[in-house]
Amino acid sequence: MMKKLLILVAILSSLPLSGQGEEQRWTLDESAEGLVLKDGETSVGLFRVPALAGIAHREEVERLDERTFRINCTFTATENLDSTRLEAGFVHLSSSPFWMIPSVSYNGNGWGRGKEPKGARENGEWRTTAARRTSIPGAMYSESERFAVATWTEAPRGDRMNYSVSIRPDRAQVGHNYIWPEEEMPLTYVSRDRFEPGYRNRASLRKGESLRLSLYVHVCPMQEGHAAMRSFLDKAWELAPKPEVDVFPPEKVWELGVRYAKECLWAEEGDYKGFSIGLLPEPDGTWQQRGGGKYEIGWCGQNASYAITLLQDYLKNGSRESLEKGMAALDTWSRCGLPNGLFTVHYDSPDGPVDACNLGTAAVNFFEAYDVAKECGYERPEYERVAYGICDFVVKDQQENGCYAKGWNPDGSCIYREGTIGCFLVPAIIEAYRRSGNEAYLRSARKAYAHYMTELREQGFTTAGALDTWCIDKESSISLLRSALRFHRLTGEKAFLEDAVAVSYYLSTWLWHYDGVYPAEDAFSRYGLHTFGFTSVSVQHNHLDSYALYWVPEWVELSELTGDRQWLEKARAIWRGGNQLLSDGTLRVNGLVRPAGSQNEAFFECGWGLGPAGAYNREGGRINDWLVAWPGAFRLETLRHLDNWNIL
């Protein structure tokens, strides 16, 4: 075995300290076992490489700041190797009550009814996961009583360098393990709630050939509410390469989005006038509106949001067609209020469940619709009545602990209450108070908000926002962020701004900090798609989408309020990432020309979702063919709520 070479690089004097009194607090020193991370005389962790015949290794250590080290581990073949598996790991030398692989596993994914990977082991064997599933390349994070430790890597520069991660929490330690080449064992998670036998790639190395793993190790003191993760997330974003992605300017995005709404999504069927949920390809290469589950007020359908956008388009551009269609859609949906205050959220399924996501969206949008319609010259008191009816029902139904619910039957009976999804109603209740001055709304909103915010601080995650999943996810936390900022505007209380920051760090664990590298023939490579700026859906749905477009205005506002530029940088990354493959009417993807203003829903960055081809993923490739309504609605809504488009 080649003798390890250790090079310690002194911290540059120009680098800021990470905290008061931390100078030289942590060290990373060579020992007989490996590189030991110490806090004074206390051993915090250990970097080590298992001995492997035919492989030598050496480590170079660079100190980036008081909390962060980069270990460059170079593996060199000392003989020809036809089948190689390399492994290196950092061991956090304490038990961990909370650990995380960002966007993949939050303390083992124990919450929820989904069948996504649970725990760190499968049938007693440590689980290995392709690093391409992680939002920060190869990131793993573990907390102990005294310290929080995070490790991550540089993104691979070539497809051959794809690797895997394996977090191994045990009684007295947590292993952060890195494996090359890529593998997923003992099972691989291939689609929602479905597994297949695992795979283990092998690679050859010729004598003298070398590979390098650059591993970042970040340590900081523990903080309540899982706030210690902020330190590593700050550093990971600082170090992340930030590619400039060319997309259409906002004015063009607006034009294309309005065209898609009016030319492709508009539907008239019986007494229905509104928007379809999206388009699917036909065998002859044409696009048709989906045949079932067609008309939805929020979530994927976003009828109310599109209608408001068309009214705004009339005010902006004078389009009578936009005005007429926007008012027709709102008038159609305003008739969906139920006697008990609930609302039919699926027009073509009036007897189906009423979920909090759609319901909260409906209330917020109908409040806004009342204002915009009035600006267009229309008095529509029924719009406000719908919104107040929803709020009144929810306030009456609220539980003693503050919880609203996840869903109800149309008769008002509750189906289930689990999850953060009930928080989708809080912004609407805040708005009801702002308009009416009725203190009952404010008391209810505060109580509900405290319930859901406490869950995030205690659990370290939010849950059940994506209606086709029942798991830990990102979508449920947008309502917390929105509520925190609305409360801050309303009250000026600093605590709400601090909450908004806490939610934003959690959302950052879902944000892709890097560009994945794929073979030249891969769809991502052919279309020049950047994964940077996308977000993953949930631990149950391991694919990327542009949902984060929905909270761009909040991160712009948060950056202004806190002076922290990272939120503006992340908002811009999301905007540019989420506007990729927006069709101008000539874009051809998967062999089909896409209508102007359309964009598909899912981008499959890893092995999830690449199974048998179907209507939503016709060629079984990385870019599906479901031209759903919501991405267009979200980008248009973002533009509606931003005063300055030039910042994007």
Sheet holding 8-9, edge to edge: 8-9, 55-63, 68-77, 210-221, 147-153, 140-143, 98-101, 105-106
Which helix (H) or strand (E) segment holds residue 35: the answer is: strand 35-39
Least confident of 43-47, 229-233, 366-370, 620-624: 620-624
Q: What per-residue confidence (pLDDT) applies to 23?
A: 58
* CATH number given to 25-239: 2.70.98
Q: From CA 238, how far away is CA 215, in angstroms rounded?
A: 15
Q: Average of pLDDT values for 593-608?
A: 97
Task: Please check the confidence at residue 321 and state whether its pLDDT lies above 50.
Answer: yes
Of the pLDDT bands very low, low, confident and very high (cuts 50, 70, 90), residue 125 is very high
In order of 371, 448, 596, the CA distances from 426 in angstroms are 20, 7, 35
Which helix (H) or strand (E) segment holds residue 372: the answer is: helix 356-375
Q: To the nearest whole percent, how much of the chain has pLDDT over 70?
A: 96
Task: Please check the confidence at residue 470 and state whether its pLDDT lies above 80.
Answer: yes
Residue 404, Cα to own-chain centre: how many angstroms? 24
Q: How many helices (H) and strands (E) does the chain have?
A: 14, 35
| Domain residue extents for the chain | 25-239
Residue-wise pLDDT for 15-32, tens only, equals 333 344 455 689 999 988
Of 525, 634, 511, 526, the closest CA to residue 573 belongs to 511
Of 582, 501, 514, 522, the closest CA to residue 546 belongs to 582
Tokens, residue 364? 């917020």
Q: For residue 126, what are the β-bridge partners?
A: 121
Task: Please check the confidence at residue 398 and state whether its pLDDT lies above 60.
Answer: yes
Q: From CA 421, how far away is CA 478, in angstroms rounded?
A: 10
Residue-wise pLDDT for 430-464, tens only, equals 999 999 999 999 999 999 999 999 999 999 999 99
Q: For residue 43, what are the β-bridge partners?
A: 38
Q: Are 116 and 184 in contact (CB under 8 A)?
A: no
Least confident of 4-8, 25-29, 465-469, 482-486: 4-8
Which helix (H) or strand (E) segment holds residue 381: the answer is: helix 381-397
For 491, residues 6+ apart whose C-beta sits below 8 A from its C-beta are: none
Q: Are 19 and 64 in contact (CB under 8 A)?
A: no
Q: What per-residue confidence (pLDDT) applies to 15?
A: 31
Which helix (H) or strand (E) segment holds residue 638: the answer is: helix 630-640
- Whether the upstream peptide bond of residue 117 has omega within 30° of 0, thus cis, is no
Of the pLDDT bands very low, low, confident and very high (cuts 50, 70, 90), residue 468 is confident
> What does the radius of gyration of the chain's CA atoms come to, in whole angstroms?
26
Q: Average of pLDDT values for 21-45?
A: 87
Tokens, residue 620? 């079984």
Task: Please check the confidence at residue 204 and state whether its pLDDT lies above 50.
Answer: yes
Of 423, 353, 432, the closest CA to residue 385 belongs to 432
The top-scoring range by mean pLDDT among 19-28, 30-39, 73-82 is 73-82
How many other CB atoms are there within 10 angstroms of residue 193's CB atom? 13
Q: From CA 648, how far away is CA 645, in angstroms rounded?
A: 6
Task: Please check the confidence at residue 3 and state whether its pLDDT lies above 60.
Answer: no
Q: Average of pLDDT values for 79-93?
A: 96
Residue-wise pLDDT for 493-537, tens only, equals 999 999 999 999 999 999 999 999 999 999 999 999 999 999 999
Torsion over CA: 475, 479, 481, 482 (sign): positive
Q: For residue 99, what are the β-bridge partners?
A: 142
Task: Please check the confidence at residue 491 and state whether its pLDDT lies above 50.
Answer: yes
Task: Please check the confidence at residue 63 and state whether its pLDDT lies above 60.
Answer: yes
Tokens, residue 597? 């203003």
Q: What per-residue confidence (pLDDT) applies to 594?
A: 98
Q: Are 277 and 290 in contact (CB under 8 A)?
A: yes
Q: What per-residue confidence (pLDDT) applies to 4?
A: 36
Q: Are 393 and 342 in contact (CB under 8 A)?
A: yes
Q: What is the largest CA-CA distance in the chain?
A: 82
Residue-wise pLDDT for 408-427, tens only, equals 999 999 999 999 999 999 99
Q: What per-residue confidence (pLDDT) applies to 22?
A: 59
Task: Please check the confidence at residue 8 and state whether its pLDDT lies above 70.
Answer: no
Burial call 52-88: b when 16+ CB within 10 Å, e when fewer: eeebbbbbbbbbbbbbbbbbebbbbbeeebeebebbb
Q: From CA 166, how far away is CA 585, in angstroms rounded?
A: 44
Task: Please check the confidence at residue 149 and state whether its pLDDT lies above 50.
Answer: yes
Q: Average of pLDDT values for 600-605?
A: 97
Tokens, residue 212? 């390098």
Of the pLDDT bands very low, low, confident and very high (cuts 50, 70, 90), residue 81 is very high
Task: Please check the confidence at residue 272 and state whether its pLDDT lies above 90.
Answer: yes
Q: From CA 136, how far away is CA 508, in angstroms rounded?
A: 9
Average pLDDT, the chain: 94
